[in-house]
Structure 1
Amino acid sequence: MPDYPQIFLNAKRSHALDGFHPWILDRSVIDPTLPLPPGTIVDCLLPSGASLGRGIYNPNSRIRIRLYQKTLAEDLDEAWLLRQLERACNLRNFWMSRNHNLDALRLVNSEGDGLSGVIIDRFGDCVVIQLTAYALLPWLDLIADWIESKFAPQAIFLRIDAATAKQEGLESKDELLRGIPPTGPLQIVENSVKLAIDLSASQKTGYYLDQRANRAAAARWIEAGPLLDVCCYVGGFSLAARQWTPATEITAVDSSLRALEGAERNLQLNGFPAIDFVQADCFDYLEHLVSENAQFQTVILDPPRMASHRGQVAAAIRAYHRLNLNAVRILSPGGLLVTCSCSGRVSREDFAGLLGAVSRKTKRRLQILESRSADFDHPVDTTCLESEYLKCLICRVE
């Protein structure tokens, strides 16, 4: 086994010491200016010489080290990476063997599968790799080789968003990595609903697979009556609702015209009755509905992430409060509120707490019927609870 550079950590400031957290911040490194290039494998030690584990160093990132192993007994090499990929794949295969096969799922969920910094999603015959850190970039070809040998996809895409690129010292990318790109949108099926996914013009990896089970769960609670779907993207919640309650009048709102065009395409693909698609800012549109004294039986809120770091949490909570307050104001008595947050920095307790504040403000009782998270293919590592980012609360509003 090679001798790796040793990094000594400040025991009093090391976030990773609390249960071997996979993120070691720059402030936790005694000498954060070490002249090591990005991607260097390092051994992490306490001042006493006790081992914390082995990880990958990036001098350009606030997360200075991604910790992948809790001991120094195993090498951090290609064989290790392939074992981790296989474990992640086997977990999904086991679940599908007991339930049903999916043609779109998350194959690797970053920290949840012990592979901090990489997400892999499969959409039919195409696979999307999203890097959220520099750490595993040197092994990108190995990851692509594994995907080809395992799934023989038509195409593999690589995505590195602008925020990640800035934080990690990378170039942002949205490109074909291998294979032949599809000539048009891919068709997948979610909970018996057909969806056309355009990988060339989509958010994140292509579609929000984490809400799969939540869309089905919410649809089971929806009664006939007007429904408002706020931040609808390509129509996932609206189409699930339309499938269960075809007589419901549905208004679906998003600020992105391209997303709404995708939603209209998906509506036509399924042959469902019409949905009123509206391009508007979600905050402004809700306030307009309040001013018009509009009433809905169901309101669904699935806004984009509002807090990516601790400094944004207070503003995010105020924004969520504003959205939910106006949603409750337009709900009929006995109506259904499906409210979501994908901001990992906003805790489940804080999210439920702001609903309590909404209840007090409106003097209306809110009952949480279900408190849900991401679907099975988005596992969470107990040493990194921040990665349990998704909250979906299904509530009755009296």
Structure 2
Amino acid sequence: MSYPSITLKKGEGRTLKSGGLWVFDNEIAAVSPDVVNGEMVSVLDFDGYPMGVGFYNHHSKITVRMMSRHADTVIDEAFLRRRVEDAWYYRKKTVDTSSCRVIFGEADYLPGLVVDKFSDVLVVQSLALGIDRLKETIVRLLLETLAKDGIHIRGVYERSDAKVRLQEGMEREKGFLSAPFDTKVEIVENGVHYMVDVEDGQKTGFFLDQKYNRLAIQKLCKGAKVLDCFTHTGSFALNAGIAGAESVLGVDASQLAVDQATENAKLNGLENTVRFQCCDVFSLLPELEEKGEKFDVIILDPPAFTKSRSSVKNATKGYREINLRAMKLLKDGGFLATCSCSHFMTYELFTQTIGQAAKNVHKRLRQVEYRTQSPDHPILWAADESYYLKFYIFQVTNQY
């Protein structure tokens, strides 16, 4: 089968040639007249050399997202089944699959598509026009693949309500891709029970990428006084509580998140140990310092302070401020778990920013470990956007 083609400008396609999966609008010299948005195209270098097959959308700055680097590939059901089966095989080998990300876009060679499994429910997020046209087939193939392992999925919900769809010329969509079902789903992770709201929770309902980072802080929290900032639905706070913390305060600016976190504490019988407060973290940290509060463990899990290169400078100030304040609130020898989930806040910049914060408050950092996202969010080398989560644990001391 032959597809219409797009041809790159001479000297362009550097991302593609280094192993990436994107072709940008300013890299394209020519487009076949029969190309239709959302349909497959063959990508040719300036001299006609075939580079592979991907789907096209002139509305998007990422004009082509590659599906295969083999020019003769036909993107049919058999091809999609192999992709889905490969994604599931990888999860079975690397993570606890009771709840996990089953498909992670470009890192699973299904660009623009995310599928999360919460117990017996799937949540689908489609962010690109080409994959949107394939999503129902992919979901059906995924259900068939899971069924082969005896896994029954009682419902599928779509959360394609991200603003980025507007940049693809698509409407934001949200709703059932199966018969309606109760969208409040109970999951268990690291021994902690959560109610996940797949209909109205953030993104797909729960942040699975921190699964093993949450587990990593448990051993530090036994008998400790813990502060969990940007707690969302209380996941780090509850891991601290179940590990035997003396007391835990979780803080978030969203009352809805605090209410959900409080319910999750009750679900785990931790309501007397783990409490939550709705307030702005940037305001609270100096208030706690003024009161003379001290903590054994502080966790900083903020939302992405930057979603573009243009706002990195301001984001850096935000990361430096919260880390500086947290270090001042720690007892000598206390532990700081701190992270960034922004792709644009690189490992190097994040590391430098934390170092500057420590220097500013005359603290020494002893690195316990550096971690990144859970393996069900694989980092595909040469696809830089797949590496976004940076997570440090430090012991913070006054010896300077």
The partner residue of 1:251 within 243, 249, 252 is 249
2:169 maps to 1:169: yes
Q: Displacement, 1:223?
A: 5.0
- Structure 1: tracts of 5 or more residues without a match: none
TM-fit CA distance, 1:23? 1.4
Matched residue, 1:137 = 132
What's the offset of the Cα at 1:35? 7.3
Report what 2:93 is aligned to.
94
TM-score scaled by length of structure 1: 0.93
Q: How far apart are the structure 1 equivalents of 2:141 and 2:16? A: 33
Q: Deviations over 1:262-295 (max 9, x none)?
A: 1111111111233221101221222322333321
Which AA in structure 2 matches 1:177? L
The equivalences for 1:1-398 within 5 A come to 1=1, 3-31=2-30, 36-95=35-94, 101-151=96-146, 152-182=152-182, 185-246=184-245, 248-272=246-270, 273-398=272-397
Bigger CA drift: 280-289 or 62-71?
280-289
Shift of the 15–311 alpha-carbon distance from structure 1 to 2, 3 Å rule, reads farther
The Cα of 1:395 is off from its aligned counterpart by 0.9
3-state SS of paired residue (2:153): coil
Following TM superposition, by how much is the alpha carbon of 1:337 offset from its aligned partner in structure 2, in angstroms?
0.7
Amino acid across the alignment from 2:159: R
The letter for the 1-side match of 2:110 is L
Q: Deviations over 1:315-361 (max 9, x none)?
A: 22121111111111211111111001110111111111101111111
CA contact (8 A) 2:187 2:196 kept: yes
Note if contact 1:255-1:279 (Cα within 8 Å) is conserved in structure 2.
yes
Q: What SS is found at the alignment partner of 1:260? A: helix
Whether the 8 Å CA contact 2:143–2:153 is kept in 1: the answer is yes
| Mean CA deviation greater in 103-112 or 148-157 | 148-157
* Counterparts of 1:332 and 1:216, CA distance in 2: 22
User: Are 1:229 and 1:237, in contact at CA under 8 Å, matched by a contact in 2?
Assistant: yes
Check whether the contact 1:15–1:23 (CA below 8 A) recurs between aligned residues: no
CA contact (8 A) 1:20 1:52 kept: no
Matched AA of 1:150: T
8 Å CA contact 2:85, 2:142 repeated in 1: no
Partner AA of 2:178 in structure 1: R
How far has the Cα of 1:158 moved from its partner? 0.8
Q: AA paired with 1:305? A: A
Deviation track 1:174-202 (CA, whole Å, cap 9, x = no partner) reads 211112311x6211110111111122221
2:177 alignment partner, SS class: strand
Question: What is the percentage of aligned positions where both structures have the same residue?
Answer: 31
Contact 1:290 1:329 in 2 (8 A): yes
Q: Distance in 1 between matches of 2:22 and 2:307?
A: 15
CA distance in 2, matches of 1:322, 1:271: 34
Distance 1:63 1:352 in 2: 29
SS class of match (1:297): strand
SS of alignment partner, residue 338 of structure 2: strand
TM-aligned CA deviation for residue 45 of structure 1: 1.2
Give the Å deviation of 1:125: 1.6
Residue deviations 1:64-123, cap 9 Å, x none?
A: 110121120321222211110110011112336xxxx54211111111111110011111
Task: Give 1:33 shift.
Answer: 10
CA distance in 2, matches of 1:366, 1:34: 59
The TM-score, its normalising length taken from structure 2, stands at 0.93
Contact 2:222 2:240 survives alignment (8 Å): no
Secondary structure, aligned partner of 1:378 = coil
Q: Which runs of 4+ in 1 moved over 6 A?
A: 32-35
Q: Which residue of 1 aligns with 2:149?
A: none
Q: How many equivalent residue pairs? A: 391
2-structure distance, mates of 1:160, 1:235: 24
Asked whether the equivalents of residues 5 and 35 of structure 2 are also in contact (C-alpha less than 8 Å), the reply is no
- Residue 343 of structure 1 aligns to a residue whose secondary structure is coil
Task: Letter of the 2:153 partner, please give it.
Answer: P
Which deviations, in whole Å up to 9, do the C-alpha atoms of 1:117-140 show, x marking residues without a partner? Answer: 001111112100111222201112
Amino acid at match of 1:199: V
Report how far residue 18 of structure 1 moved. Answer: 4.2
Instruction: Give the conservation status (yes or no) of the 8 Å contact 1:33–1:59.
Output: no
Q: Within 2, Cα distance between the matches of 1:37 and 1:290?
A: 59
Q: Matches of 1:132 and 1:303 in 2, distance apart? A: 23
Distance in 2 (CA, whole Å) between partners of 1:205 and 1:153 is 16
Structure 2: segments with no counterpart, 5+ residues: 147-151
Write the letter of the residue equivalent to 1:62: K
Whole-angstrom distance in 2 between the partners of 1:17 and 1:120: 25
Cα RMSD after superposing both structures: 1.8
Shift of 1:54: 1.1
Find the aligned partners of 2:33 and 2:388 in 1 and give their Cα distance: 32
1:161 Cα offset (Å):
2.7
Alpha carbons 1:373, 1:391 under 8 Å: kept: yes
* One-letter code aligned to 1:116: P
Task: Name whichever of 110-119 and 143-152 sits farther off.
Answer: 143-152
Secondary structure of residue in 2 paired with 1:371: strand
Whether the 8 Å contact between 1:223 and 1:297 is mirrored in structure 2 is no
Does the residue aligned with 2:339 lie in a helix, a strand or coil?
strand
Quick one: structure 1 residues 40 and 298, their matched pair in 2 at CA, closer, same or farther if it must change by over 3 Å? Answer: same
Shift of the alpha carbon at 1:168? Answer: 1.3
